[in-house]
Structure 1
Amino acid sequence: MPLLQGCNNVYEIAMSNEKETLTVMFTFGAVDGSVCPPMILYNCKWLLSDIVQSVPDSWGIGCSDSGWKKSEVFYEFAANFFHYHLVKTDVKFPVILFLDGPKSHLTFQFSELCTELQIILVALYPNGTRILQPADVAVFWSIKNEWKTGVLNCCREHPSESVTRIAPVLGKIVQERIKTKNLKNGFRVLSHGTLVA
């Protein structure tokens, strides 16, 4: 294989588009450690039935031409998924939604929608992950390695179907690794100010 000549560390040979992106949006409750079912964004123009059937019924699903969050997707998330989940679980309004990510998602239309739905928006400071993102400390660090291993194994076992098999891999990890106790502790540490810049 001439493309690999001179490479000391080859971990995986890409079988498909290695630049393809998939985004998962998580939302957690700071007070009770509750978990809003995640929303998965696929890199496509429309959703194939195989993909839709692979995603758990309670999860949100969407698509964007890049697989990244965009302002339209954020609007859809708030209007059709997040607010519905809050109403369904009898959460009292208003609620505060702390947002992490590019501020380009915060459009005037999105702000107006959130005001109408009694969702108060607070954008976290950029580059403040270790200080202002309790979910990173409490949850995400513990699932990163399992996610990497799970996706790698899935792509090796089913190279032509990997996109449709991502949701079940993530579902298993979410069920095993996201614990109410850890979330509550992560937010408690943040609110008590024990993390220092």
Structure 2
Amino acid sequence: MEGDLRDWVVGMQKNGLPVNRAAVLTKANDMYRVKYGVTRSTGFLTIRWVSCFLKRHPDLSLRDSQVIKRARNEVTMESLREFFIEYMKHVIERNASSDRVFNMNETEFSQKSRQTKVIAVKGSRNVWSKSAQCNFHLTIVACVSAAGFVCPPLYIMPGERVTHDVLDEFNVPGAVITTAPRGFMNSAGFIRWLHHFSDAVPVTVKRPLILVYDGCSSHYNADIVREAVRLEILLVLLPANATHLLQPLDVALFKPFKANIDAVVREYNLNGGEGSIARKTAIRLVSTAWTKGIVDKPANVIAGYRACGLWPVSLPQQQRRLKPFQDGGCVTDVELPSWLKVREIAQTEILVLPASSAKTRKRRKTLDVNRRLFTREDLQNIDV
């Protein structure tokens, strides 16, 4: 019976729903009750049994699971092939080199509020750290080429105006700033970014440029396509929900960039920073993190393209990126027994007729308040 339980654990992982110790213990107790019946003498298995179970099955171990949205876990091999064919077609027809292939993505200026190990007086029971917070949304638009070239970033701040002290904090050559109602990218801002991107790429780089990115609504519409054609930029959209697989910025660059943001904010706090991070301070900190986390690491850029199969162009590498998400990260092809099947809903639970009920007058779902105050009893008694 333990072998069956082990197979169930593996099956749940391959379906993207790995189970914890409590779930294993619940199933074990259910099986235990089926075998020995429900009596006072049988008792229950405890969490200690799970530890012994793992020792008896050394191919299982406790791991930290990464949470991923269900949509991101539903990318298919077919969608990868379609993207590969379109992307490869552009590369071959234009005889493109690595300096003409670019990836664009957005991220935000934010620091993680998490516990960290610190040195404190022995016996201290409540050790806490002050942390300066950014009370506005700052978007950073990044773009890198397969040859390691880093396009200067675009900063998007909320509001309509930018003060001079913010501009004075620019320390990334070529960086630009704009505003949006809430600090998020919109289609007008993306067109402005296309102009910035075209100007930032050296004129010695042959056109057209190939831009690989996600196709969210603010990044793709008729006006954007027309402007891209005029600027000699080919737009290649990634498969839906596949940025974690095929986007070099996501795969190789944003993590060290965010780590450097945490580091510069921590240093800012240690040096007596204010409780709230001002806009000019945010620009200074994010510019420092940008230089350390992205500009100074061109090898990471090239490695990110290689890992995503975008340069050198490789369909097998793209498929290898997808495979761990298809079987829950199993290191080998574990064959599941034939008896382990996906749960089916019986006909008696789906194909049934509703119970007949007497026809009653339907009540309106809303009431005209007309500057009145209602209690719950008033609402129940009103004949609508």
Please indicate the TM-score interval, normalised by the length of the shorter structure.
0.7 to 0.9
- Higher strand proportion (structure 1 or 2): 1
Q: Partner letter of residue 144 of structure 1?
A: K
Contact kept, 8 Å, 1:154 with 1:162, in 2: the verdict is: no
Percent identity of paired positions between Structure 1 and Structure 2: 26
Which stretches in structure 2 are left out of the alignment for 5+ residues?
1-125, 324-384
Q: If the length of structure 2 is used for normalisation, what is the TM-score?
A: 0.44
Equivalent residue for 2:250, pick from 127, 136, 146: 136
Distance 1:14 1:165 in 2: 11
- Pairwise CA distance, 1:12: 5.9
Which residue type is aligned with residue 186 of structure 1? Answer: G
1:43-82 equivalent positions in 2, closer than 5 A: 43-56=158-171, 57-79=173-195, 81-82=196-197
Amino acid at match of 2:168: Q
Residues 1:196 and 2:322 aligned together = yes
* Equivalent residue number for residue 363 of structure 2: none
2:226 pairs with one of 103, 112, 128: 112
Instruction: Name the SS for the 1:26 alignment partner.
Output: strand
Question: 1:15 & 1:168 partners in 2: Cα distance?
Answer: 15
Q: Secondary structure at the match of 1:97?
A: strand
Q: Which has the larger radius of gyration?
A: 2
Q: Secondary structure at the match of 2:212?
A: strand
Distance in structure 1 (CA, Å) of the matches to 2:131 and 2:303: 40
CA distance in 2, matches of 1:83, 1:119: 8
Among residues 170, 185, 196, which one is paired with 2:303 in the alignment? Answer: 185
Higher helix share: 1
The amino acid of 2:197's aligned partner reads F
Q: CA deviation at 1:161?
A: 5.7
Alignment pair present for 1:33 and 2:148: yes
Contact residue 257 and residue 293 of structure 2 kept, 8 A: yes
In the TM superposition, residue 51 of structure 1 has moved relative to its aligned partner by: 1.1
Deviations 1:97-147 (A, max 9, x none): 112362333121111010011100112233213211122221111222331
Paired with 1:117 and 1:107, the residues of 2 have a C-alpha distance of: 15
CA distance in 2: counterparts of 1:185 and 1:15, whole angstroms: 33
Please report the TM-score for the alignment, with normalisation by the length of structure 1. Answer: 0.82
What is the letter of the counterpart of residue 126 of structure 1?
A
Amino acid paired to 1:85: A
Runs of 5+ in structure 1 lacking a partner?
A: 1-7
Deviation at 1:157, TM superposition (A): 0.4
2:375 is aligned to none
Rounded to whole Å, the distance in 2 between the matches of 1:72 and 1:151 is: 31
